[in-house]
């Protein structure tokens, strides 16, 4: 899972085809966390791309995103301001960040922190089409280090809780959009 940006192994591809959501968390030096996840989506990469690049409406579609807006559009490079909310039990925290996003259509959306409540927040969404192009192996990978006090085990717990929720929501939205576009085409 940690080398998703170079492609998924055939064993992981099969797990994803079978409906599993893969999540991996590892701890690196200096409290840096490497988090990644993947899901199989019965929709073309372009359909998923349209959802994830609708920056001004992500808060209406993606769980844990409270606010999202496009601040600056420089073609394939965007500046996005986002606020997310997460937590465990009765403790929730909102976190505001400004990201630089580099779009490589329809293969990847890479992001890097410009400012916010992390010292490190960089990673990417990867869109890997299935063999026939009708579906997508969607993966997300990021290196994280919050500026606020958050023990690594707590950050890991939150990622294990939130990442599957986000990936499944994107899958459901994309599959519904794909189904609707196919119905219109028929």
What is the value of pTM for the model shown? 0.90
**Do the beta carbons of residue 32 and residue 144 sit within 8 Å?**
yes
CA distance 158 to 121: 15
pLDDT at position 186: 55
What is the domain partition of the chain in residue ranges? 4-185
Distances (CA, A) of 154 to 25, 69, 87, 97: 12, 28, 9, 20
pLDDT at position 182: 78
Helix (H, G, I), strand (E, B) or coil at 56: helix
Contacts of 42 (CB under 8 A, 6+ apart): 134, 135, 175, 178
**Do the beta carbons of residue 165 and residue 23 sit within 8 Å?**
no
More confident: 74 or 159: 74
Domain 4-185 listed as CATH 3.30.530.20: yes
pLDDT at position 161: 86
CA distance 44 to 90: 38
Please report which confidence band the pLDDT of residue 104 belongs to, taking 50, 70 and 90 as the band edges: very high
Average pLDDT of every residue of the chain: 90
- Is the predicted pLDDT of residue 183 greater than 60, yes or no? yes
Torsion of CA 18, 178, 56, 125, to 10 degrees: 40
More confident: 89 or 36: 36
**117-174 pLDDT per residue, tens:** 999 999 999 999 999 999 999 999 999 988 877 676 777 777 778 999 999 999 999 9
- Is the predicted pLDDT of residue 59 greater than 70, yes or no? yes
């Amino acid at each position: 899972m940690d080398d998703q940006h170079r492609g998924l192994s055939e064993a992981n591809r099969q797990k994803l085809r079978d409906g599993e959501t893969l999540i991996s968390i590892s701890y690196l030096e200096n409290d840096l966390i490497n988090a990644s996840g993947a899901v199989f989506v019965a929709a073309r990469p372009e359909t998923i791309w349209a959802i994830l690049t609708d920056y001004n409406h992500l808060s209406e579609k993606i769980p844990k995103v409270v606010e999202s807006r496009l601040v600056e559009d420089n073609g394939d490079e965007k500046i996005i301001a986002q606020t997310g909310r997460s937590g465990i039990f009765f403790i929730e925290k909102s976190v505001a960040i400004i990201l630089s996003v580099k779009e490589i259509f329809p293969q990847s959306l890479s992001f890097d922190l410009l400012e916010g409540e992390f010292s490190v927040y960089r990673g990417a969404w990867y869109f890997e089409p299935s063999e026939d192009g009708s579906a997508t192996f969607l993966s997300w990978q990021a290196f994280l280090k919050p500026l606020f006090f958050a023990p690594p085990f707590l950050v890991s717990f939150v990622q294990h809780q939130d990442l599957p929720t986000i990936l499944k929501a994107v899958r459901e939205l994309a599959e519904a959009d794909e189904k609707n576009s196919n119905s219109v085409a028929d």
